[in-house]
A and B are shown apart, each in its own frame.
Chain A
Amino acid sequence: QVQLVESGGGVVQPGGSLRLSCAASGFVFSKYAMHWVRQAPGKGLEWVALTSYDGINNHYADSVKGRFTISRDNSKDTLFLQMNSLRPDDTALYFCVGSTVVTPYFDSWGQGTLVIVSS
């Protein structure tokens, strides 16, 4: 079955960088758009970014535009989120999400990786 496993989270100082990864399995990764969604502690869901099936078309939330970059390696079934100029309000659980069955809806979710931005 579909499995999405995030990694790369941790504690980073304000202004620092972090690269998240999401290893996908159980479906043909190269055929589907992928997203990152985040959830600050005790708060709601916030969509962060999308990459198209081929990595050519990307969209970002205004809150991360110019600081975060979404990308994918279809040869390794892996999704990435490069996060630069991190701020305390970027602290959140970051979910890797796929639209693998009911396109374009978010039908497959990883368990998330926690990013804490703090000095």
Chain B
Amino acid sequence: DIQLTQSPSFLSASVGDRVTITCRASQEISSYLAWYQQKPGHAPKLLIYTASLLQSGVPSRFRGSGFGTVFTLTINSLQPEDFATYYCQQLNSYPRTFGQGTKLEIK
């Protein structure tokens, strides 16, 4: 199975900051990576797919990049509504594993 490791697991930042979350895959997954945002009490929401493509309706301050085994999610100019937990997921093979999550909190 492909393991995904996110870093950091917790991140404290202020409104207006830029933050970066990294997701490392235990094997090559090409660009078959997605990023999701989950707020407490809500289902996850797809933000980024194919490593770098923005899902419809997602603000352009979210940016994904990477290929192979190392991927990043960058959020520019953090807004209050961005404080949430973020997960990466690989879709290169089964099982469709998720990273352990990164909780982004307000400093």
Contacts and interface: CB of A to CB of B under 8 A. Distances in A.
Interface string B37-49: 0100011111001
Contacts of A106: 34, 36, 44, 46, 89
Given A44-B101, A47-B96, A110-B43, A105 B91 contact: yes
Given A106-B36, A107-B55, A47 B43 contact: no
Interface in A52-105: 59-62, 95, 101-102, 104-105
Contact of B44 (A60, A61, A102, A109): A109
A13 interface: no
A35 B97 CA distance: 13
Contacts, number: 55
Contacts of B101: 44-45
B98 A111 contact: no
B95 A59 contact: yes
A34 to B, nearest CB: 13
Contact of A45 (B53, B55, B91, B98): B98
5 contacts: A44-B100, A50-B96, A62-B1, A106-B36, A106-B44
